[in-house]
Amino acid sequence: MYIDTIYSAPPLEAFSAGILVVVFLFGLGAAGVGSAVFRKRESTFVRVIMGGAGVVLVLAGIAATVSLFMSYQTGDKVATLQVEQ
């Protein structure tokens, strides 16, 4: 019995969900930081909380980027399947 490739995906298709998560985290974090910087009518406490939350989201985006890059660099994950005929 031999093992054949059942499914293979290009990198963009395989990592598209991770890329979307990274873009979402960076966008939401940048919006939070920008909102904290440019909203002068809000109290200082609210602006600090919004800025802090934005920074946390940007840091989560950086961590997700590193994790995604490491997953991409380590190569393919192969699952061996045995199909009974």
> Quick check: pTM over 0.85?
no
Cβ(2)–Cβ(31) below 8 Å? no
Return the higher-pLDDT residue of 2 and 66.
Answer: 66
Return the higher-pLDDT residue of 34 and 81.
Answer: 34
DSSP string, 28-59: HHHHHHHHHHH--SS-HHHHHHHHHHHHHHHH
Q: Could you give the dihedral angle defined by the CA atoms of residues 56, 60, 65 and 68, in that order, rounded to the nearest 10 degrees?
A: 180
Q: Which residue in the block uniquely carries the two structure tokens 């490739």?
A: 5
Q: What is the pLDDT of residues 22-69, one digit of tens each?
A: 999 999 999 999 999 998 898 999 999 999 999 999 999 999 999 888
